[in-house]
Amino acid sequence: MTTHDTMTGHTRWPATAAAARDQVRHLLATTGPPPPDRVVDDILLVTSELVTNALRHGGGITAFAAVRDADTVHISVSDRSPTPPTTITRHHPATPGGYGWPLIRRLSTRVTVVPSTDGKTITAVIRSH
């Protein structure tokens, strides 16, 4: 699911994690039976983390898509950085940040990172039931 502006003919990507969650929430509410609340929470958390990472570390979102099939939801976020995500070694528990990428990997059944000449696309696949 992406948003297309019929007035300008341009595709608009969510500018914030909240906007991306709204798009995914709409997708879940309008396609198939609604997933259990805990599954919706996981899907929205993965969405938030992917978008936040693209905004903080990837130079901004260049594409966003959310697709639901019979058993899974695919969340894809593209950004401007070709650098793949890494897990930060935390030396002190009060140090901020570093939780997003491990959460994405833990909550998803599959995560792919595809580099391109102008950045990368990360796709997380999450069970929808």
Residue 87 is predicted with a pLDDT of 79
pTM of the shown model = 0.88
43 φ/ψ angles, rounded to the nearest 5 degrees: -60, -45
Nearest CA-CA partner of 21 in 75, 57, 98, 101: 75
Which residues does 32 contact at the CB level (< 8 Å), separation at least 6?
Answer: 68, 70, 128
Assess contact for 53 and 100: CB atoms under 8 A: yes
CATH number of 3-88+96-127: 3.30.565.10
Lowest mean pLDDT among 15-24, 58-67, 81-90, 99-108: 81-90
The string of pLDDT tens digits covering residues 31-89 is 999 999 999 999 999 999 999 999 999 999 999 999 999 999 999 999 999 999 987 77
pLDDT at 4: 38
Question: Average pLDDT for residues 116-126, to the nearest whole number?
Answer: 97
Q: How confident is the model at residue 90 (pLDDT cuts 50, 70, 90)?
A: low
* Domain spans in the chain, listed from the N-terminal domain onward: 3-88+96-127
